[in-house]
Amino acid sequence: MAELAASPAPRGPARRKALRRFVLGAGATLLALEAFLQLVAGLAWRRAWVGPVGTSDPNTVLVCGDGSVSEEGLASREEAWPARVAARARALHSELRIVAGAASGRDSHDVATRLQRQLDVERPRFVYLRVGVEDLRAGRAAPITDEELPGRAAPFRVEFRTLRALRDAWEALFCGDAIDPTGIWHSGGVAVEFGANGRLRLGPAEGLWERSGDGLQITLPGAAPIEVTLTRTASGIDLSGAFPGGQLSLVAGAPARDAAGEARALLDRGEFAEARWVLTTAAESSAPDADALAALVELDRREGRREDAARHLAQLKTLAGVSPTAAAAFARAEAASSAAADAVPAPAAEERARRAAVLRGNLARIVALCRFHGAEPILLGPLEAPEALAVCEAVATEGAVALLRSTAQSGELERVVFADLAARLGG
């Protein structure tokens, strides 16, 4: 009896607890080491890229932007307005040099990716920048990324990859039974999407979600966070928590619906984002809706998203090989795309808003890039494009940047820039 009483207790929980302590200790050590290495790398980056203050050439001015700057098509560069400004300004400053770096059709993304080399080579004191018209009309409207601005143009980024690896290891070791809800589900006719970026769509409502232990924490607009328990079922997952009804049964995939018809009704009401979501959820479900894909191609083309339209059309073509219904939808979409191949439709309101947001972010980065190189940026706001002008005004206000307003006429640009440059040179 005594021997039985003295026998050790089961060691399963104790070993699990010891493993958790080991993982936490090893993780803390690795994070401290990575933080030290990030500090060393950051100091090395500063030594390599941050040069001495005041390296700009006081006699150089850079003018860059779209085709209104270079005036392509003239017989010689001397006929363009930047050259005429330089000729007039040399009366005030004999050693002044104005460099025109522009090309017709260049948007803010193209300007930014070329600007760093221009700044490194020319080392200008002032940078006159005219851009924005093409961004809101026919440019790619692509945001600038750090990878596209190597060296001094891209800030040193601190990224703790060890933390992500530790999180994955923790979930694998101690959360093996956790349910991953990421994807598109439905309950009846209501679609529910758990985005990989933490975004939640519950019917028309948008919110956030994140893991909380073995369950989730869901936050909807105007409501307090809700703790939700997940249970796997034969057809999907059940959500249980303090919300109306107390339980929601979800089935994988988008609900059976006339997604194309719903999207058309939404587009008629001007609800572009909602229409795109309805079509996307139906097109990317486990059983893709061919009519929704065809409608998505049409919407992409309508908003000027040519790459997305081509991708969705290729997806529809693949689907057409196994479904007569999809084949008919593909034939309609391909015919419509061919008919509109040469047309460049004006971007819809939602697309214009997106392009304006991209332009605003790109301009802010261009301003920061100029200042990093010791150059003073001056924005040339296009009066012929009110939406682009509004973006320039917002960036100028936020970044305390000088803003000159003018049309694209060369005489007007020459007058405005020369007057500003003469004032800066003390003439």
Point out the domain boundary residue: 290, 314, 339.
Answer: 339
Amino acid letter for position 252: A
Q: What is the CATH number of the domain that holds 314?
A: 1.25.40
Q: Which residue has the higher pLDDT, 295 or 326?
A: 295
Rounded distance, CA 366 to CA 153, Å? 9
**Residue 45: which pLDDT band, with cuts at 50, 70 and 90?**
low
262, pLDDT greater than 60: yes
Instruction: Clarify whether residues 357 and 328 are in a common domain.
Output: no
**pLDDT at position 402, please?**
93
Mean pLDDT, residues 59-78:
67
Q: Are the CB atoms for 384 and 407 separated by under 8 Å?
A: yes
**pLDDT at position 343, please?**
46
Q: What is the CATH number of the domain that holds 101?
A: 3.40.50.1110
DSSP state of 151: G
Instruction: Clarify whether residues 283 and 266 are in a common domain.
Output: yes
**Residue 220: which pLDDT band, with cuts at 50, 70 and 90?**
confident
Instruction: Clarify whether residues 377 and 399 are in a common domain.
Output: yes
Q: Is residue 11, in this structure, part of any structural domain at all? A: no
Instruction: Clarify whether residues 187 and 239 are in a common domain.
Output: yes
Instruction: Clarify whether residues 326 and 364 are in a common domain.
Output: no
Rounded distance, CA 379 to CA 403, Å? 5
Nearest to 99 by CA among 73, 136, 128: 128
Q: Is residue 110, in this structure, part of any structural domain at all? A: yes
Q: Is residue 184, in this structure, part of any structural domain at all? A: yes
Q: Is residue 112, in this structure, part of any structural domain at all? A: yes
Q: Is residue 403, in this structure, part of any structural domain at all? A: yes
Query: How distant is the alpha carbon of residue 183 from its chain centre?
Result: 21
Amino acid letter for position 36: F
**pLDDT at position 295, please?**
83
342, pLDDT greater than 60: no
**pLDDT at position 397, please?**
92
Instruction: Clarify whether residues 243 and 265 are in a common domain.
Output: no
Query: How distant is the alpha carbon of residue 320 from its chain centre?
Result: 32
Q: Are the CB atoms for 54 and 85 separated by under 8 Å?
A: no
**Residue 74: which pLDDT band, with cuts at 50, 70 and 90?**
very low
Q: Token pair of 314, please? A: 């290729």
CA distances (Å), origin 155, targets 46, 99, 146, 323: 10, 27, 7, 50
Beta-carbon neighbour count of residue 95 at 10 Å? 9
Nearest to 57 by CA among 126, 119, 118, 124: 124
Q: Is residue 295, in this structure, part of any structural domain at all? A: yes
Range of the domain at 215: 178-252
Work out how many domains the chain is built from and give that number. 3
Instruction: Clarify whether residues 330 and 275 are in a common domain.
Output: yes
Point out the domain boundary residue: 339, 372, 389.
Answer: 339
Q: Is residue 83, in this structure, part of any structural domain at all? A: yes
Nearest to 259 by CA among 225, 315, 298: 298
Instruction: Clarify whether residues 226 and 280 are in a common domain.
Output: no
Mean pLDDT, residues 395-416:
90
Q: Are the CB atoms for 301 and 314 separated by under 8 Å?
A: no
Residue 216 CB partners (closer than 8 Å, separation 6+): 181, 209, 210, 227, 228, 230, 239
Instruction: Clarify whether residues 357 and 332 are in a common domain.
Output: no
Q: What is the CATH number of the domain that holds 215?
A: 2.40.128
* Matching residue, tokens 């309101």: 349
CA distances (Å), origin 83, targets 63, 79, 124, 152: 10, 7, 16, 29
Q: Is residue 166, in this structure, part of any structural domain at all? A: no
**pLDDT at position 245, please?**
64
DSSP state of 343: -
Point out the domain boundary residue: 282, 305, 339.
Answer: 339
Instruction: Clarify whether residues 333 and 367 are in a common domain.
Output: no
Instruction: Clarify whether residues 195 and 269 are in a common domain.
Output: no
Amino acid letter for position 386: P
